[in-house]
Structures are given as C-alpha cells and as structure tokens.
Amino acid sequence: MGVSGVPTVDGGPDLDAESSLLLSQQKPPKPDDAFHFAYIIYFTLGVGFLLPWNAFITAVDYFSYLYPDVAVDRIFAVAYMLVGLTCLLFIIFFAHKSDAYVRINVGLVLFVVSLLVVPVLDAVYIKGQVGLYTGFYVTVGAVGLSGLADALVQGGLIGAAGELPESYMQAIVAGTAGSGVLVSVLRILTKAIYPQDEDGLRNSANLYFATGIVVMAVCIALYNIAHRLPVMKYYEQLKIQTINEEKEERGPLTGSAWRSTLWNIIGAVKWYGLGIVLIYIVTLAIFPGYITEDVHSAILKDWYGVLLITSYNVFDLVGKSLTAVYLLENAKIAIGACAARLLFFPLFLGCLHGPSFLRTEIPVTVLTCLLGLTNGYLTSVLMIMAPKSVQLQNAETAGIVIVLFLVVGLAAGSIIAWFWVV
C-alpha cells in the first residue's frame, strides 16, 4: 500500500514516496526571502563594516591639516590593520567557543563609539586648532578601536554568510564595494560644496563621520531584525541540525581536536586565501596611493584623483555584483586570474615612464576601471567559493580564515605601495 493509500503496481511499499514524506517532515520547505529583504540587509551590513575605515581615511586631509608633523594615513593604516589582524587570530582560535551573533553586535556598537570620537573631540577639545597632538593619539586609538570592531563584524559576517547560500556572501561583498561608492559620492559633494580651507575640511570630516554613525545605527537595527526573518530561521535550523548530527558522530570537540580541525580548514581554503592575498597585494600597491600621488592631469587638476578613485569604486561594485549573474566555479582559473593581475604593475608603471600616449588620462582611467572590475569580481568569486569547500559546520571558521588572508593581503599591498613606483 502506498503512502496515499493507493496500492502500488507490484503490491509492495512505495519506498520513494515514503522517503519523500520522511524527508519533508525532517526538512520543512524553505520560506521565500520576501522582497529580497534578507539580501538587502546583508548588502547594507557589507556597506556598514567598511564605512568607518573609509570615513577615517577619506578625512585624511583634515587630519593632515591638524597634525602636519606626522604621516597620518600610514599611521592609521598600521593601527587599523595591526589591531584587526591580532583580533582575527584570536577569533579564529576561539571561534568554536564564542557566538558570532554576540561578536557582531559588540563590533557594531564599537564602530559607533569609534566614529563618535572624532566629532566629539573636535567639538570639546580640538575646535579646529592645529598641533594638539594629544588629539592625534586619541584619534589613533579610535582607529585601532575601529580595527577591533572590523575584525569582530567582518569576521563574524563573512563566517555567518559562509553557512548560507552563496547569494548572501555575494551581497556582503557587493556591499563593501557600495561603501566605497558612497564615500566617493560624499567626497565629490564635499569637494564641490565646501571650500578646501580649514572650515571646509572640518565640515567635510564631520559629514563623513555623521554619515557613518547613521549607517551603523541602521546596521545594528537590520542585523537584529535579520534573525527574526523566516528564511534566516530556516537556515539556522538546518545548521543546528547538521552540527548536532556531526557531534553525535565525533563526540565533544576538545581543544586538541579543534586545533586539528582548524588546520584541516586552513588546508582546504589555502589556495583561495592565496588568491585573495594576490588580489590585494596588487590592488593596494596601486590604489589609492599611486592614483592620488603619482599621476596628474593638467586638465582635471585636483579633481583627477577624486574621479579616478570614484571610477575604481564604481567598477569594483560592478565586479562584485556580476557574480550574482555569473559565478566562475573553476578555482584554478580564478586563482590564475589573480596571478595574472600582476601585469597591472608594468602597465601602470608605463603610465608614468612609458610612451607618451600611455601618459594621458584615458589609459590611466581605463586601467583604473579594469583594476576595480577584476578586484571586485575575483574577490567575490573566491569569498563565495572558499566556505563551500568545507563542511557546513566548519563554514563559519573558513570564512574567518579567508578574512585573515584578506587582511594579510591588504597589509602587504600597503607596504609594497611605498616602494614599487620608481
């Protein structure tokens, strides 16, 4: 007798129908992501966790005016990346003992605190005065706090997205590019509206940080709403079920067992991580330092660097959005393409010392757009693929490990940026 009560042809049980019924009982149908709300939330979170760093680095003209005797941008980069890298290492080794939901919420709050430091310090202490270096030390502390928050939020979000379908990882990665576009738009507006003097730089900086605070408040609200969405509850139940089944098979995860698992995860994602490192060595060695300091335009003058940075950010967003349309699933080709991006070094060098036709605005702009496009697309491909190379219960840790590779690439690229142009 079949499940429906209708006899089967051979009189035996309808095993396929019974199996389907059992599976449907164990795995309820997936709810729809109504109005793509969950996707929008993850995109917004991607915008959010890079916006504080973008605010600090975009306001570097203001900080350089206040503190003329220090290399503001380089000190900011060292403080941000050193703190972020240290925190990521700590998170990786203790990820199995902590809750990503708590880490992300703490990180979002710390972002708000770090962004509040500059406008509050300006209002009560600095007040536009030059050379008050106590304010600089406090600002560097805020940058370091932002780096800590970034490790908590980015590591947690990328890790959490690794446990979800690939569209949510794509949303976060595209959101990071959206952050760059947002800051570029703000930079163009402030440059067009405010004079480039003390008051103009001060007003511009305050606008960057005010925007960052508003966006972070929105991110806190949206992230805590996301966990109540039916589609997110569905994936959370699947994850819990998978983890419980794994625990039944292997028993409790001891410290030594976790270290062994961690090394297995690193081994599984190392080639994706190498590709990420290569991407950001090339990108950060060229962008933004080369674009803002080494190439010049007699026609566009000081607008040239602003427009090049905007072009890069727009095409970075295009690249990171393209994976929603077509995802390259061949890891060897993707990693090979990351290595091929090393060709950008001689090409950009040619724009400084090569034939006269290369030393014009059009070749530099085209190369900058290609730099952004390839950075965006390949980053999105590798970030999506890496967590899928391990079991679901290890996907969060794999995502955090990939973020660690990303930070290493950013740091290495920033260092190489000081030396490669001759």
Q: In this structure, is residue 216 part of a structural domain?
A: yes
pLDDT digits over 240-294, tens only?
Answer: 887 777 666 666 656 677 788 889 999 999 999 999 999 999 999 998 888 877 7
> Per the structure, how many domains does the chain have?
1
Taking residues 363-367, report their average pLDDT: 95
Q: In this structure, is residue 421 part of a structural domain?
A: no
The pLDDT of residue 254 is 61
Q: In this structure, is residue 9 part of a structural domain?
A: no
Q: Please state, in angstroms and rounded to a whole number, the distance separating the CA atoms of residues 367 and 344.
A: 8
Residue 79 has pLDDT above 80, yes or no: yes
pLDDT confidence bin for 13, thresholds 50/70/90: very low
pTM: 0.88
Do residues 66 and 132 lie in contact, with contact meaning Cβ atoms separated by under 8 Å? yes
Q: In this structure, is residue 133 part of a structural domain?
A: yes
CATH code for the domain in which residue 379 is found: 1.20.1250.20
Q: In this structure, is residue 22 part of a structural domain?
A: no
Residue 380 phi/psi, 5-degree rounding, is -65, -45
Do residues 165 and 36 lie in contact, with contact meaning Cβ atoms separated by under 8 Å? no
The two structure tokens encoding residue 234: 């569905």
Q: In this structure, is residue 370 part of a structural domain?
A: yes
Q: Please state, in angstroms and rounded to a whole number, the distance separating the CA atoms of residues 270 and 274.
A: 6
The pLDDT of residue 20 is 45
| Average pLDDT over the chain, rounded to an integer | 88
Taking residues 183-191, report their average pLDDT: 93
Q: In this structure, is residue 6 part of a structural domain?
A: no
Residue 23 has pLDDT above 60, yes or no: no
Taking residues 353-374, report their average pLDDT: 92
Do residues 279 and 380 lie in contact, with contact meaning Cβ atoms separated by under 8 Å? no
Q: Please state, in angstroms and rounded to a whole number, the distance separating the CA atoms of residues 346 and 132.
A: 42
Taking residues 204-210, report their average pLDDT: 94
What residues make up the domain containing 172?
33-416
Q: Please state, in angstroms and rounded to a whole number, the distance separating the CA atoms of residues 409 and 265.
A: 19
Taking residues 326-336, report their average pLDDT: 96
Q: Examine residue 68 and say whether the peptide bond preceding it is cis (omega within 30 degrees of 0).
A: no
Taking residues 363-372, report their average pLDDT: 96
pLDDT confidence bin for 80, thresholds 50/70/90: very high
Q: In this structure, is residue 18 part of a structural domain?
A: no
Taking residues 381-401, report their average pLDDT: 91
pLDDT digits over 124-164, tens only?
Answer: 998 888 889 999 999 999 999 999 999 999 999 998 999 89
Q: Please state, in angstroms and rounded to a whole number, the distance separating the CA atoms of residues 92 and 273.
A: 15
Contacts of residue 390, defined as CB under 8 A and 6 or more positions apart, other chains included, come to 264, 265, 268, 269, 397, 398
Residue 322 has pLDDT above 90, yes or no: yes
